[in-house]
Structure 1
Amino acid sequence: MLSLLLAASAAVQPAPVTAPTPAPMMIFFDSGGKEIRKEWEPVLDEAAKAAAAGSRLRIVGHSDRSGSASGNRRTSLERARVVADALVARGVAVATLTVEGQGEDNPFLPTADGVREIQNRRVDISPDR
């Protein structure tokens, strides 16, 4: 009987514990803007600390739907590059950064075409896995 209990308990293994995926850090931009406002400096500092701790970072720029799709893609990439440059200025190695622009393709808050929405004019910074 004891051998049956031991066999049954050995067959049930707890699921491995994995760390939750951290939420991306976000920096928001003014309409048409590519400058990082002072209020977003702490986000850059946090991202630089993550990089210093060994994380590779993925930097993804986004835009709202107020301009043309091609212009929004270009602006989103420019915003991502501005954030990458700010991180490099904080000592983050360029080789640890992946930079891309998604334009209006991945809105934080879906809107109709032509709508300005600050939550969509953002750069997401997250661990690059």
Structure 2
Amino acid sequence: MRRISLVLALLLLASCSSRQSLFVVLPNPDGSSGAVTIEDGQKSVVLDQPYAAGEVRGGAAAPVKIDQAQVQQIFGNALAAQPILPSHFVLYFERDSDTLTPESQRQYQGVFEDIKRRNVYEVEVIGHTDTMGTQAHNQRLSMSRAEMIRDRLVHDGISPKSISVAGRGSLDLAVRTADQVAEPRNRRVEITVR
């Protein structure tokens, strides 16, 4: 999923300047940015770089120079009030079990830390399997994997009321395979934290 850059707009209705609005494109976490176009009816200004800014002053759109420190000074309170963006994690399991692989055992801590840094959170845990076994077996196994992660999170202090679990069996394969193929990347739990 591609993220759209955050654009800040500040309306100055009763100020000593004649600026009516200020628009700033903020960078995505990876440093990229989206774009926004400001139009005043006669000309347009395209803002398509991190910290690109434009204003409408006296009814006319124009680009302006602004740096990260100025953005923080002007929009600091709004930036501080932003919710934390959702996070997505994938943990993998040993074949035909609800035991995490050694690497996923280590990665679990990152899931837990992401949840704990949020004041309010919602956690969605969805279990998956490879195509080995029957549909009924895979459905039970995928649910067992999701429930194991939920139980571990609850044991570590996460509210059970904030966790939803589901099992998808082999219905949503990460890697398409034929039936009865032991594909390790399909033996997973996907966790979304909001």
Query: What interval of TM-score do these two structures reach, taking the shorter chain for normalisation?
Result: 0.7 to 0.9
Q: Give the 3 Å change call, closer, same or farther, for CA 111–95 of structure 1 in structure 2.
A: same
* Structure 1 residue 9 corresponds to structure 2 residue 61: yes
Give distance in 2, aligned partners of 1:89 and 1:123.
18
2:156 is aligned to: 90
> Larger strand proportion, structure 1 or 2?
2
For residues 191 and 165 of structure 2, the distance between their equivalents in structure 1, rounded to whole angstroms, comes to 9
Instruction: Give the alignment partner of residue 105 of structure 2, picking from 41, 53, 57.
Output: 41
Task: Indicate the structure whose relative CO is greater, using CA pairs within 8 Å and at least 6 residues apart.
Answer: 1
Q: One-letter code of the match for 2:183?
A: E
Aligned residue in 1 for 2:94: 30
| 1:69 matches 2:135 | yes
Higher helix content, 1 or 2: 1
The match for 1:56 among 99, 103, 122 is 122
Superposition deviation, residue 100 in structure 1 = 0.5
Deviating more after overlay: 46-55 vs 62-71: 46-55
CA distance in 2, matches of 1:80, 1:67: 18
SS of residue matched to 1:9: strand
1:9 counterpart letter in structure 2: A
Identity of counterpart residues, as a percentage?
A: 25
Letter in 1 for 2:61: S
SS of equivalent residue, structure 1 residue 25? strand
Distance in structure 2 (CA, Å) of the matches to 1:104 and 1:48: 26
Q: Which amino acid aligns with 2:107?
A: V
Size of the aligned set, in residue pairs, is 119
CA contact (8 A) 1:28 1:121 kept: yes
Q: CA deviation at 1:32?
A: 0.7
Matches within 5 A, 1:103-118: 103-118=169-184
Matched letter for residue 144 of structure 2:
E
Q: Is the 8 A contact 1:44 1:87 kept in 2?
A: no
Amino acid at match of 1:66: M
